[in-house]
Amino acid sequence: MSHTASQQILFEDFAPDHLDGALRLSQEAGWPHRRDDWALTLSVSTGVVAMDSGEVVGTALCSCFGDVATLNMIIVDQRMRGRGLGRELMNRVIAMAGARETRLVATTDGLPLYEKLGFVATGRIEQYQGIAVAAQPEVSVDAATGADIAALAAADLAASGMERATLLARIVETGTLLRAEGGFALLRRFGRGHVVGPVVARDVATARALMAAAASRLEGQFLRIDMAGALVQADYAESLGLTHAGGGTTMVRAPKSPTAISSEYKTFALVSQALG
């Protein structure tokens, strides 16, 4: 624990005991996250909380996936804004990332701070959500009962550059794995209903088939997809009952040179805006 005398704020390592306070902040910010959604992200992350008189007033997490880290769940209590708390939280999780390439998805409010801290905009994430409508996949998709996590992680690494076998295994434990010849998708509870992601595929047809399979399984229920802007399938998402609901700016700090990893696979939809 450390102390800043100027603001009378204590900084502590983010622990499960802080989840209820973090949930309060995200709810006040209008985010849909449940406590379980916070817990999943924390399970593959380290982080920091800002405390004021025993109350969580700021959060930030760093999720390290091999040579890449994502910074996420960066929230400052509305009552504490304008005091430099967001910058202090960011400095601490940037330090946790070390020499890794560091990524985040920025809100409009956070963008100026992240630019000052050396992050550069690289694209967009577009969020689609709504009541799912069934569709017939053009490519055969199966709901797998067993998962070869190593194979999933290899395809995911090729697409994202992130080593996320542990994260994928945890999602598979409670979610649904959808497999096609040229890709896979994970479907799980999140926020108001369910989210499908990542959607990792070799081509657009396979990605669409995986999305259609997810929508068909959840026909009449709430579904969310966070799509990579360069690969966004807006018309297709709308055909599945989903409408555009905002998004964010993808940013990177200290990017690494591309590796020799195959680029055969692409990430059409994220695990989450927090985890890439």
For residue 54, give both structure tokens. Answer: 């025993």
User: Are both 36 and 167 inside the same structural domain?
Assistant: no
- The pLDDT value recorded for residue 123 is 96
Instruction: Note down the domain range covering 50.
Output: 2-99
User: Are both 248 and 178 inside the same structural domain?
Assistant: yes
User: Are both 83 and 134 inside the same structural domain?
Assistant: no
User: Are both 61 and 176 inside the same structural domain?
Assistant: no
Asked if residue 143 is part of any domain, the answer here is yes
At residue 261, the 3 state secondary structure works out as coil
At residue 135, the 3 state secondary structure works out as coil
Backbone angles phi, psi at 265, to 5 degrees: -95, 150
User: Are both 207 and 136 inside the same structural domain?
Assistant: yes
For residue 61, give both structure tokens. Answer: 């997490």
User: Are both 135 and 223 inside the same structural domain?
Assistant: yes
What's the chain's length in residues?
276
Q: pLDDT tens per residue, the chain (276 residues)?
A: 444 434 589 999 999 999 999 999 999 999 999 999 999 999 999 999 999 999 999 999 999 999 999 999 999 999 998 899 999 999 999 999 999 999 999 999 899 999 999 999 999 999 999 999 999 998 999 998 778 999 999 999 999 999 999 999 999 999 999 999 999 999 999 999 999 999 999 999 999 999 999 999 999 999 999 999 888 899 999 999 999 999 999 999 999 865 444 579 999 999 999 999
Peptide bond into 255 cis (omega under 30): no
Q: Which of 180, 236, 242 is nearest to 208 (CA)?
A: 236
Asked if residue 21 is part of any domain, the answer here is yes
User: Are both 138 and 188 inside the same structural domain?
Assistant: yes
Asked if residue 46 is part of any domain, the answer here is yes
Write the CATH number for 265.
Answer: 3.40.630
User: Are both 153 and 204 inside the same structural domain?
Assistant: yes
User: Are both 258 and 134 inside the same structural domain?
Assistant: yes
- The pLDDT value recorded for residue 231 is 87
The count of structural domains within the chain is: 2
- The pLDDT value recorded for residue 130 is 98
- The pLDDT value recorded for residue 205 is 96
